[in-house]
Amino acid sequence: MARKMLIRALPPEWDIEITQAGSGREALDAYRAGRVDVMFLDLTMPEIDGYTVLETLRREDLNCLVIVVSADIQEKAQERVLDLGAIAFIKKPVDAAKVQAVLKDYGIIV
Amino acid sequence: MDAGSVEHLLHFVVDRLEVGILAVDTEMRVVLWNRFMAMHSGKPPEQVIGRNLFECFPELPQKWLEKKIRNVFLLRNYAFTSWEQRPYLFRFHHNRPITGGVDAMQQSCTFLPVKGDGDEVEHVCINVFDYTDTALYQHKLMAAIGELESEREEQKRLIKRLEEAQNQLLQSEKLASIGQLAAGVAHEINNPIGFVNSNLGALDRYVQDLLRLADAYGVAEDALAARPPEFQAVAQLKQQIEFDFLREDICSLIKESRDGLDRVKKIVQDLKDFSRVDSSQEWQWTDLNKCLESTLNVATNEIKHKAEVIKDFGALPEIECLPSQINQVFLNLLVNAAQAITGRGTITLASGHDGDWVWIAIADSGCGIAPEQIKRIFDPFYTTKPVGQGTGLGLSVSYNIVAKHGGRIEVDSLLGKGTTFRVWLPLRHETNEAVDASK
Amino acid sequence: MNAPLLTQDQKDALQEIANIGMGQAGASIAKVLDEFVQLSIPRVLFVPPEEIPVALALTIGEGQVSSVRQAFHGSMRGEALLVYGDQRCNDLADLMGYDGKLDHASELELLLDVSNVLAGACLGEIAKQLGMTIGFSAPSLMADAVPLESLLQAEALPWKTALLVEVNFRLEQRSFACHLVMLMPENEVAALAAALDRFLESF
């Protein structure tokens, strides 16, 4: 449901291929397979949580942009993910306008 | 109504409502203080408004309360306190100064976040509700529930005692029927023993006569100068049957048989004494030493392999008691004493009297009873013996029998050294007489 | 349960909304305690009330539980039950402004206070996401250290369905866990279902 809601909030004109991951491990697998340019990452996940995914990505040179999407809206959580290299924090429920703004800020979409 | 009069009305209501209403800003300064608060605290608004709440009321639990109020600012959500956990926030007199039972107005409070024009909470409004009446009712209710509960406990206790009494009744009925059986058997044995005994008496006399006859023959034989050859055969026969030994042994055989029979008679008599079916529930003047002796005979099988019995009886006056029941007590104590002994030991029986009381002591050199167990040994069904050896009722029944006699049982025990039970009984049975007199 | 009171889509939506509610509750707790709170993945279950003890036993384990009830009302009506294990939330005492050793009354007051924060934040956020407004009555103690199986026995709960949200917060130094159960009467579940449909349509 969370992924469905996020996908619906993405800009419709954005020409991309979407890979869905059910856990932190699946996300890392997809990243390592070279299928990820922009990652929307949740924090609370089974097996490997979002913080660990971020740390791992940073160790592995972080060749993608990570936007954290989470219900964990603690200020400290936001600070932590930005420190770990995420480009933005979007709180759930996802606001389509906010997603567009972030994507535009980083020149991902025009 | 125009806006002005609505505001006036609101202001009036807030001020006069029978609920404490105050509000503080983020600096904990009081910005609203209604009449209820002023009346009960004795501080009019002009002494409070604009000042820090905790300066005005240093007795408030500042650390906790300030945290609570700050949380309301932060979370923008209601918070509560309840008189049940915290009887009051502000210490006010209550409306039941005389009939009270509580020392201050019992309060439940609600903390309301009050937003300003934006989304931020600018004030926290605290409503103080007087719950004294509720608290008093609650206390009364709790007291009533407590009473009900203790009554229920009492009932439970009574039911348990009733069950115990019933079990004892069953046990004593069982004992009574065993006694009856024993007495019946004893009676049946008495008859054959009677005629065996009298036959044995006659047999003794006849044998003596026959021996005298044989002796006379011997004398006659010796007097004959020449012995006919038939005497050769008699001499041979005498040798063959070892006549000299026979005539000695036959007397001791008869004597032993008569002794044995006497013992059987005594055992039968003890059995009858012990059960006293004929007069089982009558108060009789009895010598406890004799009771103990006859019980010892009944229990001799249980004891003789385990212990040497040492008797140290003092002279006792007769006492008024139910002998069959007292025998039951002695039997229980004797059997327990024997069972407490592992290997071989001694059981010392002593008695004595002191004023209007007599006592019987039964001491064993057995394993002893641990201090924590002593207070339980008279409980029904309490047993430390292996399954099948004890019902756990012996001491409980004994205790009740002795109590019925107006007496008591004292226990003195040392682990590993042994146990002494001392039964104290009064000379006269007072209650019994009182009951008899009332008939 | 006979006919399902909510469709699978509605349940999924509620799970997501509960996640958001949990995040809000976690953030509130973090603000109140001024500590970073680690959130676990919330577990959301629909159970008939009589199965609540079984569902709770799975995560709380055996032992004694304490619980607080708090009614909510407004465009959605029901009761929230907050169930705690042996330790309750005594670990949070100093962070909530208590000094020294807690006496029994303070322990219960703390329990009520933490419950109020959690229920207010979690249910308040759920209602907000659904475009509903709800208010809360004062929380009250329902069970003070009783065996789990007797938790709901004494209470004749008229509620037909229960939404069980497992709240599990860990702080850096201390921990406490709590289960939040949202109970609603059948006709209120219908209002909830309608609100969930509106939520689903908005995407």
SS3 of residue C45 by DSSP = strand
ipTM: 0.83
Q: Which residues contact C103 (CB under 8 A, 6 or more apart)?
A: none
| B173: contact with C, CB 8 A cutoff | no
Tokens of B111: 């903390």
Tokens of C13: 């939506």
Long-range contacts of B156-165 (CB under 8 A, 24+ apart): B164/B380, B164/B396
Task: CATH number of the domain at C12, please.
Answer: 3.40.1550.10
Q: What is the pLDDT of residues B308-349, one digit of tens each?
A: 999 999 988 999 888 878 888 898 888 888 888 888 899 999
**Mutation site for A-interface testing, chosen from C11, C12, C20 by largest number of A Cβ within 10 Å:** C20
CA distance C108 to chain B (A): 7
Q: How many whole angstroms separate alpha carbon A20 and alpha carbon A17?
A: 10
At what angle are helices B243-275 and B230-240 packed, to 10 degrees? 40
B contacts of C96 (beta carbons < 8 Å): 64, 67-68
Q: Give the pLDDT confidence score for residue B347 in this predicted structure.
A: 92
Could you tell me which chain B residue has the CA closest to the CA of C109?
B85
* Closest partner CB to B108 (pick from C121, C124, C138): C138
Ramachandran area for residue B388 (φ above 0: left; ψ -120 to 50: alpha; else beta) = left
Stretch(es) of chain B classified as CATH 3.30.450.20: 3-130
Question: Residue B404 pLDDT more than 90?
Answer: no
Question: Residue B118 pLDDT more than 90?
Answer: no
Q: What is the pLDDT of residues B151-173, one digit of tens each?
A: 999 999 999 888 877 877 776 67
Could you tell me which chain A residue has the CA closest to the CA of C14?
A1
Q: Give the pLDDT confidence score for residue B50 in this predicted structure.
A: 95
Q: Give the pLDDT confidence score for residue C154 in this predicted structure.
A: 46
C contacts of A76 (beta carbons < 8 Å): 30, 36
Q: Give the pLDDT confidence score for residue B278 in this predicted structure.
A: 43
Q: Which residues contact B350 (CB under 8 A, 6 or more apart)?
A: B311, B312, B313, B314, B360, B361, B363
Pairing state between β C140-147 and C64-74: antiparallel
Cβ within 8 Å, pair C16-A92? yes
Tokens of B410: 């004292």
Number of domain units in chain C: 1
* Structural domain boundaries, residue C121: 8-201
**Residue A23 belongs to a domain:** yes
Q: How many whole angstroms separate alpha carbon A50 and alpha carbon A41?
A: 6
* Structural domain boundaries, residue A30: 2-101
CA distance B135 to chain C (A): 15
Angstrom CA distances, C35 to B69, C89, C170, C174, stand at 18, 15, 10, 10
**Beta pairing partners, B348:** B310, B363
**Residue appearing with tokens 């012996």:** B394
Range 47-66 of B in CB contact (< 8 A) with C: 63-66
Cβ within 8 Å, pair C27-A93? no
Angstrom CA distances, B326 to A101, B74, B355, B422, C178, stand at 103, 82, 20, 13, 65
Q: What is the pLDDT of residues B27-41, one digit of tens each?
A: 999 999 999 999 999
Range 78-107 of A in CB contact (< 8 A) with C: 91-93
Q: How many whole angstroms separate alpha carbon C153 and alpha carbon C191?
A: 28
Tokens of A70: 């989470």
Q: Give the pLDDT confidence score for residue C69 in this predicted structure.
A: 92
**Mutation site for C-interface testing, chosen from A72, A75, A80, A94 by largest number of C Cβ within 10 Å:** A72
Whether residue A68 contacts residue A43, with contact meaning beta carbons closer than 8 Å, is answered with: yes
Of all residues in chain A, what percent are helix, strand and coil, respectively (each to 5)? 40, 15, 45
Q: Which residues contact B90 (CB under 8 A, 6 or more apart)?
A: B20, B37, B40, B41, B57, B60, B105, B107, B128
Q: Which residues contact C180 (CB under 8 A, 6 or more apart)?
A: C80, C81, C82, C83, C118, C119, C122, C164, C165, C166, C167
Which pTM value belongs to this model? 0.62
Residue type at B14 in one-letter notation: V
Question: Residue B290 pLDDT more than 50?
Answer: yes
C contacts of A81 (beta carbons < 8 Å): none
Question: Residue B128 pLDDT more than 50?
Answer: yes
Question: Residue B14 pLDDT more than 80?
Answer: yes
Q: Integer distance in angstroms from the first to the last C-alpha of chain C?
A: 30
A contacts of C203 (beta carbons < 8 Å): 4-5, 8-9
CA distance C125 to chain B (A): 11
Number of domain units in chain A: 1
**Mutation site for B-interface testing, chosen from C34, C88, C110, C112 by largest number of B Cβ within 10 Å:** C112
Could you tell me which chain B residue has the CA closest to the CA of C136?
B78
Q: Which residues contact B155 (CB under 8 A, 6 or more apart)?
A: none
- What CATH code is assigned to B3-130? 3.30.450.20
Q: What is the pLDDT of residues C177-197, one digit of tens each?
A: 788 888 877 777 888 888 889
Mean pLDDT in chain B? Answer: 85
Question: Of the ranges A101-105, B228-232, B270-274, which is most confident?
Answer: A101-105
Name which residue leads in pLDDT, B274 or C146.
Answer: C146
C contacts of A92 (beta carbons < 8 Å): 16, 19-20, 23
Task: CATH number of the domain at A7, please.
Answer: 3.40.50.2300
How many residues in chain A?
110
Could you tell me which chain B residue has the CA closest to the CA of C103?
B85
Q: How many whole angstroms separate alpha carbon C201 and alpha carbon C203?
A: 5
CA nearest to A43, candidates A19, A66, A17: A66
Dihedral angle, C-alpha B41, B44, B50, B56, nearest 10 °: -30
Tokens of B333: 């104590």
C interface with A, Cβ–Cβ < 8 A, is: 12-13, 15-17, 19-20, 22-24, 26-27, 30, 36-37, 39-42, 129, 203
Q: Give the pLDDT confidence score for residue B436 in this predicted structure.
A: 44
* Closest partner CB to B82 (pick from C121, C135, C138): C138
**Residue appearing with tokens 């009298």:** B198
Of all residues in chain C, what percent are helix, strand and coil, respectively (each to 5)? 45, 30, 30
**Residue C1 belongs to a domain:** no
Cβ within 8 Å, pair A74-C36? yes
**Beta pairing partners, B126:** B22, B111
Range 16-35 of A in CB contact (< 8 A) with C: none
Angstrom CA distances, B91 to B58, B87, B97, B126, B128, stand at 11, 9, 14, 15, 11
- What CATH code is assigned to B281-439? 3.30.565.10
Question: Of the ranges B41-55, C62-76, C142-156, which is most confident?
Answer: B41-55
SS3 of residue C44 by DSSP = strand
Q: Which of B22-31, B279-288, B296-305, C10-19 has the lowest mean pLDDT?
A: B279-288
**Mutation site for C-interface testing, chosen from A73, A75, A80, A95 by largest number of C Cβ within 10 Å:** A73
| A73: contact with C, CB 8 A cutoff | yes
Angstrom CA distances, C145 to C84, C98, C140, C154, C183, stand at 9, 21, 14, 14, 21
Could you tell me which chain A residue has the CA closest to the CA of C39?
A44
Question: Residue C77 pLDDT more than 80?
Answer: yes
| A72: contact with C, CB 8 A cutoff | yes
Q: Give the pLDDT confidence score for residue C58 in this predicted structure.
A: 73
**Residue A57 belongs to a domain:** yes
Q: Give the pLDDT confidence score for residue C156 in this predicted structure.
A: 60
Query: C–B contact (≥3 CB pairs within 8 Å)?
Result: yes
pLDDT confidence of B98, banded at 50, 70, 90?
A: low
Q: Which residues contact A45 (CB under 8 A, 6 or more apart)?
A: A23, A24, C41
Q: Give the pLDDT confidence score for residue B101 in this predicted structure.
A: 65
**Residue appearing with tokens 């807690």:** C102
Stretch(es) of chain B classified as CATH 3.30.565.10: 281-439
pLDDT confidence of B393, banded at 50, 70, 90?
A: low
Tokens of B195: 């005629």
Cβ within 8 Å, pair C26-A92? no
CA distance A63 to chain C (A): 28
**Mean pLDDT along residues C95-107:** 85
Q: How many whole angstroms separate alpha carbon B184 and alpha carbon A1?
A: 91
Q: Which residues contact C76 (CB under 8 A, 6 or more apart)?
A: C127, C130, C132, C134, C184, C188, C191, C192, C195
Pairing state between β B307-312 and B345-354: parallel
pLDDT confidence of B175, banded at 50, 70, 90?
A: low
